[in-house]
Structure 1
Amino acid sequence: MATITRENIGLLNDKLTVKVEKEDYLSSFEKTLKQYSKSANIPGFRKGMVPAGVIKRMHGPAIFKDEVVKSVEKELGRFISEEKPDIFAQPLPLETDVPSLDMNQPAGYTFQFEIGLKPNPSIDLGSIKATRYEINVTDEMIEAEVDRLRNRFGKVTDKEEADTEEDILTLTFVESDAEGNPLEDAPSKTNSLLVKYFADTTQALGKRAGDKMVLQLGKAFEDKEREWLVKDLNLNPDDPAELERFFAVTVDKVGLLQKRDLGEEFYNEVYPGQGIATEAAFREKIVSEIRLYWERQTKDFLHHELYHQLLDKTHFDLPEAFLKRWLQVGGEKPKTADEVEEEFPTFRSQLRWTLISDQLIRQNQLDVTPDELREYMRQQVLGYFGQMNLGDGNTEWIDSYVDRMTKDEQQVESAYRRIVTEKMFNWAEDKVSVSPKAISFEEFSEMQHAHSHEH
């Protein structure tokens, strides 16, 4: 009968010694040989009439090895199921002498594996101090947003050349390399931008239809316009690396923008179906949207601060030797020791965060309901199709789209992690010491910029 013994060999690192006897695999070996003889197609023999000796000579060693390995795997599976060790990945075979397997002399065999054990982090939320920034909506911010909306919904007349900062360029973006060579199968996206939205307006002034340029998102546009453009290009606004991308940009046409006049028709175009009839109500709506925007931004910043403090103040060890070996040999493609050393710091940080967040989620019974998951995906679809006119309000196509998304395991897992992580941060906000602090949006934007570059 197969047995397993367990021995500690290092920090959070144990050795499993698996011993299988011939009774554990021999009957399966003989049964598989018989099945092969019934189904094998070998020249010179009728199907099902191949002598067992021929099958044994041709396929016996491979079948014998498979059955021994299966018996070892079965015993490992039983051990993990019954003992329930909290381990990383799967047991790794130790680099010891592999037993010589001889089907003509079946015997007991011993195999050795190592396992990496997960630590149990001690998380002290009471030691964490964070800041909740509060941004007051100023008259200047309101006027800037009114002006932006008047431009966005303004009327454009064609002209030959962009010669003022109020001119508008209709541009087609295609992701490229730094020299402007489009990437293979890169989709194109058309956007209209005022010249003054460029960080360096000289890049846009003087441009005519057909002119081309190469732009890097992180350098070409001011913060507000860049954020909108990143989302419109279907990039991840939370990933600073997205700003390093290059785009080959073609000027489709140049226009002179005539701002919209304030009035009920304009208000209803900006906020359809909300019954805004006066300038006062229009400005009140703008204030609420600006406030909501900055509340989201400051909340995200607080969560980033909690993330870094949880990582910095939660100390625990990892079985690093095991994890490096697992990185080297446990994937689909083996890696060199140098590759592992280069990747390990980032891997270790991600793994530490996974252990911390999973423990907080598990201990506090935070979960995601199917309805929450579906609503999150629905909002993703609506956000993706953003400005799309839904016509008569029939949104059955959205439900059908969401149905398909819920059948994609990868999308479901991604959505689940985002929702449950947000729940965890919201829960943690009430458990740490959070101090409010008033700050201007300019100061806060600088902090965001510095933070994204630092991390």
Structure 2
Amino acid sequence: MNISHQKIDDINANIIVELTPEDYNPTVDKAIKDQAKKAKLPGFRPGLVPTGHIRRTFGKSILFDEVNRIINDKISEYIGEQKLEVLGQPLPKEEADVTYNWDFKDTFKFNYEIGLAPEFDVPFTAETEFIEYDIKADDATLQERIKNLRRSYGKMTNPEVSEEGDVLYAALKQDKEEGIEKTTSIRTDIIEDAKIKKSLVGLKKEDTVKIDVKKAFKVADLARILDVTEEEAENLDVTKFELTVQNINRLEESDLNQEFFDKLFPAGEVTTEEQFNAKVTEEVENLFKQNSAQKLRNDMYTFGMDKADTKFPETFLKKWLKATNPNLSEQEIEEGFADFISNLKWTIIENRVVTANNLEVKYDEVVNLAKERIYAQIKMYNMNEEPTDEQLGQFALQLLSDREQANRLFEEVKALKVFDKLKSTVKIKSKKIDYDKFEKLDK
């Protein structure tokens, strides 16, 4: 067997594989014998089908499968041995003037296109500088969080007159004959238009107002309220609706008392409003650490994309995308190609950091990340619930039994390791900032 590659340019190459009968016949003979032992054919006892019959009946298909398997295995080995940084997978080139008899005597010669990762240095050095923000909770953010917590454990009332933030149970009727009629709950806090929101304050049961629903709601919210598709909501021919109040629902905030504190935290851990405020501040600022880390990752990503200015084998990659996703149209490939190249560029940077620093993703690390994600989800719905490590472990194993979820978490662990390595490589300056100002960054 001969296998070699020829560079077309820095990012495109061909792999040529030549296979003689001596290379493939021993493997084909073994496959035919194995098939004979397993075959169940009329006129033969199970496991006693003559190999000659298998060769005559199925020989060409077995030969085809084995040749392809040998070639794929050898190409993978060759790429590893030659340390070729290949993008996608090799694609066979069509040879219009080459035909084979598939009679176990052919010498096969196959040509494959490959795309090569471009050469560039990972653009992160000890001289590269980034800012890591230490985000502080401003009063407005804290008060909003406290309000949401109090409402989460509050009680529902039915006042006579509506106020801002109430939920109206109301009948909506489109302003045309045989128009849409729907009785539904409407959260006034999601209304986009300030005038419309104000018009729903001070209403009583049976009061009626007319509103323009396209101005009042986002398309997704309007589709849910009217129980139609988003396309139907987007294309309403008449957007004026009559709204008739049938009931007013208000979620009253819970009192700041011991019963409320014990619903949120272990019993007796928080006994005063000051301690409660301190706990909420700690919780909010811990969440802000995630925002800060994400901002730093985004800044590193943007920096890497800008500095690693290089060319990719675009013609090959588009051909490979089409070959591996036959249902994609040419237009869809073109529309998503810029994002595909950006992701590919960052993946190359990540992989080079992993290789240069011998980073390794261990199974226990993936399990621990799964447990962290599950714990955060549980606490989101019940701050007072403390799952045991054994429970988290069971949930994590269930999650990782899904291959897609397992791959996603593996890639996330790898990304975190690369991020930590880059942080230790570059200069990081810490800067305190209020959350409201942090939100305005990059806008």
TM-score (norm 2): 0.73
Q: Does 1:113 align with 2:112?
A: yes
Contact 2:88–2:317 at 8 Å: present in 1 too?
A: no
CA distance in 2, matches of 1:165, 1:321: 57
Contact 1:61–1:102 at 8 Å: present in 2 too?
A: no
SS at 2:8's partner residue?
A: strand
CA distance in 2, matches of 1:46, 1:135: 78
Task: Report what 1:262 is aligned to.
Answer: 256
Task: Report what 1:279 is aligned to.
Answer: 273
Offset, 1:310: 1.2
Task: Report what 2:94 is aligned to.
Answer: 95
Rate the CA distance shift 1:155–1:105 in 2: closer, same or farther, 3 A.
closer
Contact 1:11–1:319 at 8 Å: present in 2 too?
A: no
Contact 2:186–2:225 at 8 Å: present in 1 too?
A: no
Task: Report what 1:349 is aligned to.
Answer: 342
Q: Which amino acid aligns with 1:325?
A: K
Counterparts of residues 159-170 of structure 1 (less than 5 Å):
159=159, 163-168=162-167
Contact 1:151–1:259 at 8 Å: present in 2 too?
A: yes
Task: Report what 1:239 is aligned to.
Answer: none
Contact 1:65–1:101 at 8 Å: present in 2 too?
A: no
Rate the CA distance shift 1:207–1:119 in 2: closer, same or farther, 3 A.
farther
Offset, 1:431: 3.4
Cα offsets for 1:178-204 (capped at 9, x unmatched): xx9xxxxxxxxxxx9974465557467
Percent identity of paired positions between Structure 1 and Structure 2: 24
Task: Report what 1:85 is aligned to.
Answer: 84
Rate the CA distance shift 1:170–1:101 in 2: closer, same or farther, 3 A.
farther
SS at 1:10's partner residue?
A: coil
Task: Report what 2:376 is aligned to.
Answer: 383
CA distance in 2, matches of 1:388, 1:123: 43
Q: Which amino acid aligns with 2:122?
A: I
Identify unmatched segments of 5+ residues in structure 1: 172-179, 181-191, 222-242, 451-455
Task: Report what 1:248 is aligned to.
Answer: 224
CA distance in 2, matches of 1:328, 1:410: 22
CA distance in 1, matches of 2:355, 2:265: 42
Task: Report what 1:412 is aligned to.
Answer: 406
Cα offsets for 1:305-364 (capped at 9, x unmatched): 1111111112333232322221122x1536554443333212111100111122223323
Identify unmatched segments of 5+ residues in structure 2: 171-179, 227-244
SS at 2:311's partner residue?
A: coil
Contact 1:20–1:71 at 8 Å: present in 2 too?
A: no
Contact 2:367–2:393 at 8 Å: present in 1 too?
A: no
CA distance in 1, matches of 2:413, 2:212: 37
Select 1:360's aligned residue among 353, 362, 377: 353
Q: Does 1:429 align with 2:395?
A: no
CA distance in 1, matches of 2:251, 2:352: 55
Tell me whether 72-81 or 345-354 shows the greater mean CA deviation.
72-81
Task: Report what 1:19 is aligned to.
Answer: 18
Q: Which amino acid aligns with 1:415?
A: L
Counterparts of residues 20-419 of structure 1 (less than 5 Å):
20-29=19-28, 39=39, 41=41, 58-97=57-96, 99-103=98-102, 106-126=105-125, 128-159=128-159, 163-168=162-167, 195-196=188-189, 199-200=192-193, 202=196, 248-249=224-225, 254-273=248-267, 275-329=269-323, 331=324, 333=326, 335-385=328-378, 386-388=380-382, 396-419=390-413
CA distance in 2, matches of 1:215, 1:446: 30
CA distance in 1, matches of 2:168, 2:390: 36
Offset, 1:122: 0.5
SS at 1:294's partner residue?
A: helix
Task: Report what 1:3 is aligned to.
Answer: 2
SS at 2:113's partner residue?
A: strand
SS at 2:278's partner residue?
A: helix
CA distance in 1, matches of 2:114, 2:260: 66
Task: Report what 1:175 is aligned to.
Answer: none
SS at 1:131's partner residue?
A: strand
CA distance in 2, matches of 1:246, 1:365: 52
Contact 1:122–1:315 at 8 Å: present in 2 too?
A: no
CA distance in 2, matches of 1:400, 1:105: 53
CA distance in 2, matches of 1:384, 1:207: 39
CA distance in 2, matches of 1:35, 1:139: 75
Rate the CA distance shift 1:434–1:79 in 2: closer, same or farther, 3 A.
closer
CA distance in 2, matches of 1:380, 1:252: 42
Please, what is the CA RMSD of the aligned residues?
A: 4.3
CA distance in 2, matches of 1:358, 1:297: 25
Contact 1:377–1:405 at 8 Å: present in 2 too?
A: yes
Cα offsets for 1:206-228 (capped at 9, x unmatched): 6989xxx9999xx969xxxxxxx
TM-score (norm 1): 0.71
Tell me whether 337-346 or 409-418 shows the greater mean CA deviation.
337-346
Offset, 1:393: 6.3
Q: Which amino acid aligns with 1:151?
A: R
CA distance in 2, matches of 1:59, 1:77: 27
Contact 2:132–2:292 at 8 Å: present in 1 too?
A: yes
Cα offsets for 1:30-81 (capped at 9, x unmatched): 6666777784736xx5568989887666545434444444443454344345
Contact 1:13–1:117 at 8 Å: present in 2 too?
A: yes
Q: Which amino acid aligns with 2:273?
A: E
CA distance in 2, matches of 1:404, 1:108: 50
SS at 2:381's partner residue?
A: coil
Contact 1:129–1:434 at 8 Å: present in 2 too?
A: yes
SS at 2:315's partner residue?
A: helix
Contact 1:215–1:248 at 8 Å: present in 2 too?
A: no
Q: Which amino acid aligns with 2:130?
A: A
CA distance in 2, matches of 1:139, 1:394: 34
